[in-house]
Amino acid sequence: MLKKGDQKLINAWAFYDWANSVYPLVITTAVFPLYYGIVTGGKDAEVTFLGTQWNNTVLYSYTLSVSFLVVAFISPMLSSIADYMGNKKRFMQFFCLLGSFSVMSLYFFDGLDKLWIGITFSILASIGFWGSLVFYNAYLTEIAHPDRHDEISARGFIHGYIGSVILLVFILTMIMFPNWYGFIDHPLLSGEKPPNMVFQLSFVLVGIWWLVFAQYTFYHLPNNSFKRKPEKDYIFKGFKELRKVFIEIRQHSTIYIFLWSYFFISAGIQTIIVLAGKFGDEELGLPTMNLIITILLIQLVAIVGATLFARISKKIGNIKTLKTTIVIWIVVCFSAYMLPGESPNVDTYFYTLGGFLGLVLGATQTLARSTYSKLIPEETYDNATYFSFYDVTEKLAIVVGTLSFGLAMSFTKSMRTSVLILAIFFFLGLVVISFMKKTKYVK
Protein backbone atom coordinates (compact mmCIF):
# COMPACT_ATOMS: atom_id res chain seq x y z
CA MET A 1 0.00 0.00 0.00
CA LEU A 2 1.32 3.45 -0.96
CA LYS A 3 2.22 5.67 1.99
CA LYS A 4 0.73 9.05 2.85
CA GLY A 5 2.46 11.72 0.78
CA ASP A 6 3.53 9.31 -1.97
CA GLN A 7 3.41 11.13 -5.32
CA LYS A 8 1.83 8.19 -7.13
CA LEU A 9 -0.96 8.03 -4.54
CA ILE A 10 -1.56 11.79 -4.80
CA ASN A 11 -1.69 11.64 -8.60
CA ALA A 12 -4.08 8.68 -8.50
CA TRP A 13 -6.39 10.57 -6.14
CA ALA A 14 -6.33 13.71 -8.32
CA PHE A 15 -7.05 11.62 -11.40
CA TYR A 16 -10.58 10.93 -10.19
CA ASP A 17 -11.31 14.58 -10.92
CA TRP A 18 -10.19 13.87 -14.49
CA ALA A 19 -12.63 10.95 -14.59
CA ASN A 20 -15.75 12.45 -13.07
CA SER A 21 -15.55 16.15 -14.00
CA VAL A 22 -16.98 15.37 -17.43
CA TYR A 23 -20.33 14.90 -15.69
CA PRO A 24 -20.78 18.44 -14.30
CA LEU A 25 -19.41 20.05 -17.47
CA VAL A 26 -21.11 18.00 -20.19
CA ILE A 27 -24.26 16.82 -18.41
CA THR A 28 -25.02 19.52 -15.86
CA THR A 29 -23.71 22.61 -17.65
CA ALA A 30 -23.19 22.31 -21.40
CA VAL A 31 -24.75 19.55 -23.49
CA PHE A 32 -27.63 17.97 -21.56
CA PRO A 33 -29.39 21.30 -20.76
CA LEU A 34 -29.20 22.13 -24.48
CA TYR A 35 -30.61 18.73 -25.43
CA TYR A 36 -33.26 18.93 -22.70
CA GLY A 37 -34.39 22.29 -24.09
CA ILE A 38 -34.61 20.90 -27.62
CA VAL A 39 -36.64 17.86 -26.55
CA THR A 40 -38.99 19.76 -24.23
CA GLY A 41 -39.80 22.57 -26.67
CA GLY A 42 -37.41 25.45 -25.92
CA LYS A 43 -37.88 28.60 -23.87
CA ASP A 44 -40.98 28.84 -21.66
CA ALA A 45 -42.34 25.53 -22.95
CA GLU A 46 -44.84 23.65 -20.81
CA VAL A 47 -44.36 19.93 -20.14
CA THR A 48 -46.43 17.36 -18.28
CA PHE A 49 -44.75 15.32 -15.56
CA LEU A 50 -46.49 13.26 -12.87
CA GLY A 51 -49.82 14.58 -14.14
CA THR A 52 -48.86 18.22 -13.56
CA GLN A 53 -48.02 21.03 -15.98
CA TRP A 54 -44.53 22.51 -15.50
CA ASN A 55 -42.38 25.17 -17.08
CA ASN A 56 -39.56 23.06 -18.52
CA THR A 57 -36.77 25.17 -16.94
CA VAL A 58 -38.45 25.19 -13.52
CA LEU A 59 -38.94 21.40 -13.68
CA TYR A 60 -35.24 20.93 -14.49
CA SER A 61 -34.25 23.14 -11.55
CA TYR A 62 -36.52 21.21 -9.16
CA THR A 63 -35.20 17.87 -10.50
CA LEU A 64 -31.67 18.81 -9.48
CA SER A 65 -32.95 19.96 -6.09
CA VAL A 66 -34.48 16.53 -5.46
CA SER A 67 -31.18 14.77 -6.21
CA PHE A 68 -29.30 17.07 -3.86
CA LEU A 69 -31.82 16.44 -1.09
CA VAL A 70 -31.38 12.68 -1.47
CA VAL A 71 -27.58 12.97 -1.25
CA ALA A 72 -27.85 15.31 1.73
CA PHE A 73 -30.03 12.74 3.49
CA ILE A 74 -28.03 9.57 2.80
CA SER A 75 -24.40 10.75 2.78
CA PRO A 76 -23.93 11.30 6.55
CA MET A 77 -25.44 7.91 7.33
CA LEU A 78 -23.41 6.03 4.70
CA SER A 79 -20.22 7.96 5.48
CA SER A 80 -20.38 7.12 9.17
CA ILE A 81 -20.91 3.46 8.32
CA ALA A 82 -18.00 3.61 5.84
CA ASP A 83 -15.74 5.18 8.47
CA TYR A 84 -16.70 2.59 11.07
CA MET A 85 -16.17 -0.30 8.66
CA GLY A 86 -13.10 1.25 7.03
CA ASN A 87 -14.38 0.79 3.45
CA LYS A 88 -14.74 4.27 1.94
CA LYS A 89 -13.44 3.01 -1.38
CA ARG A 90 -16.27 0.48 -1.78
CA PHE A 91 -18.89 3.19 -1.23
CA MET A 92 -17.08 5.50 -3.63
CA GLN A 93 -17.03 2.74 -6.26
CA PHE A 94 -20.76 2.11 -5.81
CA PHE A 95 -21.69 5.74 -6.42
CA CYS A 96 -19.29 5.91 -9.37
CA LEU A 97 -21.08 2.93 -10.95
CA LEU A 98 -24.50 4.42 -10.20
CA GLY A 99 -23.56 7.76 -11.73
CA SER A 100 -21.78 6.51 -14.83
CA PHE A 101 -24.48 3.95 -15.77
CA SER A 102 -27.24 6.50 -15.11
CA VAL A 103 -25.55 8.98 -17.44
CA MET A 104 -25.33 6.29 -20.13
CA SER A 105 -29.02 5.54 -19.60
CA LEU A 106 -29.89 9.08 -20.71
CA TYR A 107 -29.31 7.66 -24.19
CA PHE A 108 -32.89 6.37 -24.02
CA PHE A 109 -34.32 9.87 -23.43
CA ASP A 110 -35.14 10.41 -27.10
CA GLY A 111 -38.40 12.36 -27.02
CA LEU A 112 -41.00 14.13 -24.89
CA ASP A 113 -42.82 10.84 -24.32
CA LYS A 114 -39.67 9.60 -22.57
CA LEU A 115 -39.41 12.62 -20.26
CA TRP A 116 -39.64 10.32 -17.26
CA ILE A 117 -36.40 8.65 -18.37
CA GLY A 118 -34.63 12.00 -18.63
CA ILE A 119 -35.84 13.11 -15.20
CA THR A 120 -35.24 9.77 -13.42
CA PHE A 121 -31.73 9.19 -14.70
CA SER A 122 -30.80 12.86 -14.26
CA ILE A 123 -31.61 12.42 -10.57
CA LEU A 124 -29.72 9.11 -10.28
CA ALA A 125 -26.68 10.43 -12.17
CA SER A 126 -26.55 13.45 -9.89
CA ILE A 127 -26.79 11.22 -6.80
CA GLY A 128 -23.97 9.05 -8.16
CA PHE A 129 -21.71 12.01 -8.87
CA TRP A 130 -22.22 13.90 -5.64
CA GLY A 131 -22.32 10.71 -3.56
CA SER A 132 -18.93 9.59 -4.82
CA LEU A 133 -17.43 13.02 -4.09
CA VAL A 134 -18.15 12.67 -0.37
CA PHE A 135 -15.75 9.73 -0.12
CA TYR A 136 -13.31 11.12 -2.68
CA ASN A 137 -12.89 14.40 -0.80
CA ALA A 138 -12.45 12.51 2.48
CA TYR A 139 -9.32 10.84 1.09
CA LEU A 140 -7.52 14.21 0.93
CA THR A 141 -6.60 14.02 4.62
CA GLU A 142 -5.30 10.45 4.18
CA ILE A 143 -3.12 10.91 1.10
CA ALA A 144 -1.26 14.11 2.03
CA HIS A 145 -0.20 16.25 4.98
CA PRO A 146 -2.11 19.51 5.69
CA ASP A 147 0.62 21.83 4.40
CA ARG A 148 0.07 20.42 0.88
CA HIS A 149 -3.73 20.35 0.85
CA ASP A 150 -4.17 23.62 -1.08
CA GLU A 151 -1.76 22.54 -3.79
CA ILE A 152 -3.19 19.01 -4.11
CA SER A 153 -6.80 20.14 -4.05
CA ALA A 154 -5.93 22.54 -6.86
CA ARG A 155 -4.23 19.73 -8.77
CA GLY A 156 -7.40 17.65 -8.61
CA PHE A 157 -9.58 20.45 -9.97
CA ILE A 158 -7.02 21.25 -12.69
CA HIS A 159 -7.06 17.59 -13.79
CA GLY A 160 -10.84 17.81 -13.89
CA TYR A 161 -10.97 21.03 -15.91
CA ILE A 162 -8.49 19.73 -18.50
CA GLY A 163 -10.08 16.27 -18.87
CA SER A 164 -13.62 17.60 -19.13
CA VAL A 165 -12.64 20.21 -21.74
CA ILE A 166 -10.98 17.52 -23.89
CA LEU A 167 -14.11 15.38 -23.95
CA LEU A 168 -16.44 18.36 -24.39
CA VAL A 169 -14.48 19.61 -27.40
CA PHE A 170 -14.71 16.15 -28.98
CA ILE A 171 -18.47 16.02 -28.33
CA LEU A 172 -18.89 19.50 -29.79
CA THR A 173 -17.28 18.37 -33.03
CA MET A 174 -19.91 15.61 -33.15
CA ILE A 175 -22.68 18.16 -32.58
CA MET A 176 -21.40 20.82 -34.99
CA PHE A 177 -20.12 18.52 -37.73
CA PRO A 178 -22.14 15.29 -37.42
CA ASN A 179 -21.32 14.36 -41.02
CA TRP A 180 -17.71 13.76 -39.95
CA TYR A 181 -18.99 10.81 -37.96
CA GLY A 182 -21.52 9.54 -40.48
CA PHE A 183 -24.57 11.39 -39.16
CA ILE A 184 -26.90 13.51 -41.29
CA ASP A 185 -25.37 16.93 -42.00
CA HIS A 186 -27.11 19.47 -39.76
CA PRO A 187 -24.24 21.52 -38.28
CA LEU A 188 -25.09 23.63 -35.27
CA LEU A 189 -23.11 26.49 -36.81
CA SER A 190 -25.81 26.93 -39.44
CA GLY A 191 -28.45 27.43 -36.78
CA GLU A 192 -30.15 24.10 -37.46
CA LYS A 193 -30.55 21.39 -34.87
CA PRO A 194 -28.15 18.44 -34.98
CA PRO A 195 -29.73 14.97 -34.91
CA ASN A 196 -30.73 13.78 -31.44
CA MET A 197 -28.58 10.66 -31.83
CA VAL A 198 -25.43 12.81 -31.55
CA PHE A 199 -26.52 14.07 -28.14
CA GLN A 200 -27.56 10.62 -27.00
CA LEU A 201 -24.18 9.13 -27.92
CA SER A 202 -22.42 11.95 -26.07
CA PHE A 203 -24.14 10.84 -22.86
CA VAL A 204 -22.80 7.32 -23.39
CA LEU A 205 -19.30 8.71 -23.94
CA VAL A 206 -19.47 10.65 -20.67
CA GLY A 207 -20.47 7.54 -18.72
CA ILE A 208 -17.73 5.42 -20.29
CA TRP A 209 -15.07 8.11 -19.71
CA TRP A 210 -16.07 8.44 -16.06
CA LEU A 211 -16.16 4.69 -15.41
CA VAL A 212 -12.96 3.74 -17.26
CA PHE A 213 -10.63 6.48 -15.98
CA ALA A 214 -11.89 6.04 -12.40
CA GLN A 215 -10.33 2.58 -12.32
CA TYR A 216 -6.82 4.03 -12.07
CA THR A 217 -7.86 5.90 -8.93
CA PHE A 218 -9.56 2.86 -7.41
CA TYR A 219 -6.50 0.70 -8.10
CA HIS A 220 -4.21 2.89 -5.99
CA LEU A 221 -6.49 4.32 -3.28
CA PRO A 222 -6.22 2.38 0.00
CA ASN A 223 -9.20 0.73 1.63
CA ASN A 224 -9.35 0.62 5.42
CA SER A 225 -6.08 2.51 5.80
CA PHE A 226 -6.74 2.85 9.55
CA LYS A 227 -7.15 -0.94 9.92
CA ARG A 228 -10.64 -0.67 11.41
CA LYS A 229 -12.14 -3.97 12.63
CA PRO A 230 -15.93 -3.50 12.64
CA GLU A 231 -18.33 -5.54 14.69
CA LYS A 232 -21.50 -7.04 13.21
CA ASP A 233 -23.90 -4.28 14.24
CA TYR A 234 -22.11 -1.82 11.94
CA ILE A 235 -25.27 0.20 11.14
CA PHE A 236 -25.89 1.05 14.80
CA LYS A 237 -22.17 1.69 15.35
CA GLY A 238 -22.13 3.88 12.26
CA PHE A 239 -24.89 6.03 13.69
CA LYS A 240 -22.93 6.37 16.92
CA GLU A 241 -19.95 7.50 14.82
CA LEU A 242 -22.15 10.06 13.10
CA ARG A 243 -23.47 11.42 16.39
CA LYS A 244 -19.94 11.69 17.78
CA VAL A 245 -18.69 13.70 14.79
CA PHE A 246 -21.77 15.95 14.87
CA ILE A 247 -21.08 16.81 18.52
CA GLU A 248 -17.41 17.45 17.72
CA ILE A 249 -18.34 19.83 14.89
CA ARG A 250 -20.74 21.76 17.13
CA GLN A 251 -17.98 22.13 19.71
CA HIS A 252 -15.37 23.08 17.10
CA SER A 253 -16.47 26.67 16.46
CA THR A 254 -14.10 27.23 13.52
CA ILE A 255 -15.49 24.27 11.57
CA TYR A 256 -19.04 25.26 12.50
CA ILE A 257 -18.58 28.84 11.27
CA PHE A 258 -16.83 27.67 8.09
CA LEU A 259 -19.71 25.32 7.24
CA TRP A 260 -22.26 28.10 7.61
CA SER A 261 -20.18 30.35 5.37
CA TYR A 262 -19.75 27.52 2.88
CA PHE A 263 -23.51 27.02 2.87
CA PHE A 264 -24.15 30.54 1.59
CA ILE A 265 -21.22 30.48 -0.84
CA SER A 266 -22.32 27.14 -2.32
CA ALA A 267 -25.91 28.33 -2.72
CA GLY A 268 -24.53 30.95 -5.08
CA ILE A 269 -21.76 29.04 -6.86
CA GLN A 270 -23.53 25.79 -7.64
CA THR A 271 -26.71 27.53 -8.78
CA ILE A 272 -24.67 29.67 -11.17
CA ILE A 273 -22.87 26.58 -12.51
CA VAL A 274 -26.16 24.78 -13.11
CA LEU A 275 -28.12 27.66 -14.63
CA ALA A 276 -25.55 30.01 -16.24
CA GLY A 277 -26.13 28.51 -19.66
CA LYS A 278 -29.87 28.99 -19.43
CA PHE A 279 -29.33 32.61 -18.32
CA GLY A 280 -27.32 33.33 -21.45
CA ASP A 281 -29.81 31.48 -23.64
CA GLU A 282 -33.16 32.66 -22.31
CA GLU A 283 -32.36 36.03 -20.71
CA LEU A 284 -29.72 37.36 -23.12
CA GLY A 285 -30.75 35.44 -26.22
CA LEU A 286 -27.20 34.36 -27.05
CA PRO A 287 -26.64 31.80 -29.82
CA THR A 288 -25.76 28.28 -28.72
CA MET A 289 -22.19 28.54 -29.99
CA ASN A 290 -21.56 31.69 -27.94
CA LEU A 291 -22.74 29.87 -24.83
CA ILE A 292 -20.51 26.89 -25.53
CA ILE A 293 -17.49 29.13 -26.14
CA THR A 294 -18.20 30.84 -22.80
CA ILE A 295 -18.42 27.49 -21.00
CA LEU A 296 -15.08 26.40 -22.47
CA LEU A 297 -13.57 29.77 -21.53
CA ILE A 298 -14.76 29.35 -17.94
CA GLN A 299 -13.12 25.90 -17.70
CA LEU A 300 -9.81 27.07 -19.11
CA VAL A 301 -9.63 30.21 -16.96
CA ALA A 302 -10.59 28.08 -13.92
CA ILE A 303 -7.26 26.25 -14.34
CA VAL A 304 -5.46 29.58 -13.95
CA GLY A 305 -7.68 30.55 -11.03
CA ALA A 306 -7.09 27.31 -9.13
CA THR A 307 -3.32 27.60 -9.57
CA LEU A 308 -3.08 31.34 -8.90
CA PHE A 309 -5.22 31.48 -5.77
CA ALA A 310 -3.61 28.34 -4.30
CA ARG A 311 -0.33 30.26 -4.42
CA ILE A 312 -1.91 33.45 -3.08
CA SER A 313 -3.30 31.49 -0.12
CA LYS A 314 0.24 30.48 0.84
CA LYS A 315 1.13 34.15 1.21
CA ILE A 316 -1.98 35.71 2.76
CA GLY A 317 -3.79 32.64 4.13
CA ASN A 318 -6.94 30.73 3.21
CA ILE A 319 -9.44 33.03 4.92
CA LYS A 320 -8.32 36.27 3.25
CA THR A 321 -8.05 34.51 -0.11
CA LEU A 322 -11.56 33.10 0.18
CA LYS A 323 -12.89 36.55 1.12
CA THR A 324 -11.29 37.95 -2.03
CA THR A 325 -12.97 35.36 -4.24
CA ILE A 326 -16.36 35.97 -2.58
CA VAL A 327 -16.15 39.69 -3.31
CA ILE A 328 -15.44 38.91 -6.97
CA TRP A 329 -18.48 36.57 -7.02
CA ILE A 330 -20.67 39.43 -5.76
CA VAL A 331 -19.32 41.68 -8.52
CA VAL A 332 -20.03 38.92 -11.08
CA CYS A 333 -23.66 38.66 -9.92
CA PHE A 334 -24.30 42.40 -10.14
CA SER A 335 -22.56 42.53 -13.52
CA ALA A 336 -24.79 39.72 -14.81
CA TYR A 337 -27.86 41.63 -13.58
CA MET A 338 -26.72 44.74 -15.47
CA LEU A 339 -25.82 42.96 -18.74
CA PRO A 340 -27.66 44.71 -21.61
CA GLY A 341 -29.49 41.92 -23.42
CA GLU A 342 -30.20 44.04 -26.51
CA SER A 343 -26.67 45.43 -26.91
CA PRO A 344 -24.78 44.38 -30.07
CA ASN A 345 -21.77 43.66 -27.84
CA VAL A 346 -23.61 41.48 -25.35
CA ASP A 347 -21.60 38.42 -26.38
CA THR A 348 -18.32 40.23 -25.60
CA TYR A 349 -19.69 41.29 -22.21
CA PHE A 350 -20.75 37.72 -21.52
CA TYR A 351 -17.29 36.36 -22.45
CA THR A 352 -15.66 38.87 -20.09
CA LEU A 353 -18.04 37.92 -17.32
CA GLY A 354 -17.33 34.24 -18.01
CA GLY A 355 -13.61 34.92 -17.65
CA PHE A 356 -14.06 36.42 -14.18
CA LEU A 357 -16.45 33.61 -13.24
CA GLY A 358 -13.90 30.98 -14.29
CA LEU A 359 -11.14 32.71 -12.34
CA VAL A 360 -13.02 32.54 -9.03
CA LEU A 361 -14.73 29.24 -9.76
CA GLY A 362 -11.45 27.32 -9.78
CA ALA A 363 -10.16 29.30 -6.82
CA THR A 364 -13.20 28.98 -4.55
CA GLN A 365 -13.79 25.28 -5.18
CA THR A 366 -10.12 24.48 -4.57
CA LEU A 367 -9.73 26.54 -1.42
CA ALA A 368 -13.04 25.53 0.14
CA ARG A 369 -12.13 21.82 -0.06
CA SER A 370 -8.56 22.27 1.17
CA THR A 371 -9.55 24.70 3.94
CA TYR A 372 -12.10 22.28 5.35
CA SER A 373 -9.62 19.38 5.17
CA LYS A 374 -7.17 21.43 7.24
CA LEU A 375 -9.82 22.06 9.89
CA ILE A 376 -10.51 18.34 10.45
CA PRO A 377 -8.68 17.07 13.57
CA GLU A 378 -5.52 15.22 12.53
CA GLU A 379 -6.09 12.40 15.00
CA THR A 380 -9.56 11.46 13.76
CA TYR A 381 -10.47 8.27 11.87
CA ASP A 382 -13.79 9.73 10.72
CA ASN A 383 -12.67 11.64 7.64
CA ALA A 384 -15.62 10.53 5.47
CA THR A 385 -18.09 11.44 8.21
CA TYR A 386 -16.54 14.88 8.59
CA PHE A 387 -16.68 15.41 4.84
CA SER A 388 -20.27 14.20 4.72
CA PHE A 389 -21.22 17.28 6.74
CA TYR A 390 -19.28 19.38 4.22
CA ASP A 391 -21.21 17.62 1.48
CA VAL A 392 -24.59 17.99 3.23
CA THR A 393 -23.90 21.69 3.67
CA GLU A 394 -23.19 22.01 -0.04
CA LYS A 395 -26.22 19.99 -1.15
CA LEU A 396 -28.68 21.78 1.12
CA ALA A 397 -27.21 25.04 -0.14
CA ILE A 398 -27.75 23.97 -3.75
CA VAL A 399 -31.34 23.03 -2.92
CA VAL A 400 -31.92 26.45 -1.38
CA GLY A 401 -30.11 28.17 -4.25
CA THR A 402 -31.87 26.38 -7.11
CA LEU A 403 -35.27 26.59 -5.40
CA SER A 404 -34.77 30.31 -4.76
CA PHE A 405 -33.77 30.78 -8.38
CA GLY A 406 -36.75 28.77 -9.63
CA LEU A 407 -39.26 30.49 -7.34
CA ALA A 408 -37.99 33.97 -8.21
CA MET A 409 -38.23 33.10 -11.89
CA SER A 410 -41.76 31.74 -11.43
CA PHE A 411 -42.97 34.98 -9.85
CA THR A 412 -40.97 37.54 -11.84
CA LYS A 413 -40.65 35.67 -15.19
CA SER A 414 -37.06 36.95 -15.27
CA MET A 415 -33.74 35.40 -14.29
CA ARG A 416 -32.21 38.78 -13.45
CA THR A 417 -33.99 39.01 -10.09
CA SER A 418 -32.80 35.48 -9.33
CA VAL A 419 -29.19 36.54 -9.97
CA LEU A 420 -29.53 39.33 -7.38
CA ILE A 421 -30.72 36.78 -4.83
CA LEU A 422 -27.53 34.81 -5.46
CA ALA A 423 -25.51 37.97 -4.73
CA ILE A 424 -27.21 38.11 -1.32
CA PHE A 425 -26.07 34.53 -0.62
CA PHE A 426 -22.47 35.49 -1.38
CA PHE A 427 -22.71 38.55 0.85
CA LEU A 428 -23.96 36.44 3.76
CA GLY A 429 -21.09 33.99 3.18
CA LEU A 430 -18.63 36.88 3.34
CA VAL A 431 -20.12 38.14 6.60
CA VAL A 432 -20.05 34.72 8.28
CA ILE A 433 -16.49 33.81 7.23
CA SER A 434 -15.31 37.09 8.77
CA PHE A 435 -15.98 35.52 12.19
CA MET A 436 -13.60 32.59 11.54
CA LYS A 437 -10.56 32.35 13.80
CA LYS A 438 -7.16 31.32 12.54
CA THR A 439 -5.89 27.80 13.29
CA LYS A 440 -2.58 25.99 12.97
CA TYR A 441 -3.00 25.40 9.24
CA VAL A 442 -5.73 27.89 8.30
CA LYS A 443 -4.56 31.48 8.51
Q: What is the pLDDT of residues 100-150, one digit of tens each?
A: 999 999 999 988 888 999 999 999 999 999 889 888 888 888 888 877 888
Reported as a single tens digit per residue, the pLDDT across 289-333 is 777 778 888 888 888 888 888 888 888 888 899 999 999 999 988
Average pLDDT value for residue range 12-33: 89
pLDDT tier, 192 (very low <50, low <70, confident <90, very high otherwise): very low
Asked if pLDDT for residue 185 goes beyond 50, the answer is: no
The answer to whether the predicted template modeling score (pTM) of the entire model surpasses 0.75 is: yes
Q: What percent of the chain has pLDDT over 90?
A: 22
Average pLDDT over residues 157-161: 89
pLDDT: is 254 or 405 the higher one? 254
374-401 burial, b if ≥16 CB within 10 A, otherwise e? bbbeeeebbbbbbbbbbbbbbbbbbbbb
Is 50 exceeded by the pLDDT of residue 345?
Answer: yes
211 falls in which pLDDT band (50, 70, 90)? very high
Hey, what amino acid is at 239? F
What is the pLDDT at residue 325? 92
pLDDT of 241 above 90:
no
What confidence score (pLDDT) does residue 188 get? Answer: 44
Secondary structure (H, E, C), 193-231:
CCCHHHHHHHHHHHHHHHHHHHHHHHHHCCCCCCCCCCC
Question: Which pLDDT score, from 0 to 100, does residue 214 have?
Answer: 96
Mean predicted confidence (pLDDT) in 390-396: 83
In order of their start, the domains of the chain are 7-221+234-433 (1.20.1250.20)
Q: Is the pLDDT of residue 406 over 90?
A: no
What is the rounded average pLDDT of the residues 229-249? Answer: 64
Contact 351, 291 (CB under 8 A): no
Band (pLDDT 50/70/90 cuts) for residue 240 is low
The whole-angstrom separation of Cα 255 and Cα 182 is: 54
- Residue-wise pLDDT tens digits, 356-385: 888 888 888 888 888 888 888 776 666 777
The Cα 381–Cα 200 span in angstroms is: 43
- With cut-offs at 50, 70 and 90, classify the pLDDT of residue 186: very low
Output the CA–CA distances (angstroms, integers) from residue 293 to 33, 172, 224, 289, 354, in the order listed: 15, 10, 43, 6, 10
Closest CA to 372 of 384, 354, 361, 360: 384
**23 confidence band (pLDDT: 50, 70, 90):** very high
What does residue 336 show for φ and ψ, rounded to 5 degrees? -65, -40
**Amino acid symbol at 103:** V
- Number of Cβ atoms within 10 Å of the Cβ of 207: 24
pLDDT of residue 95: 93
Output the CA–CA distances (angstroms, integers) from residue 341 to 281, 328, 344, 355, in the order listed. Answer: 10, 22, 9, 18
Task: Give the containing element (helix H, strand E) for 264.
Answer: helix 253-278
Q: Tell me how far apart the alpha carbons of residues 303 and 363 are, in angstroms, rounded to a whole number.
A: 9
Percent of the chain with pLDDT over 70: 86
Higher pLDDT, 283 or 225: 283
Which stretch of DSSP H or E encloses residue 262? Answer: helix 253-278
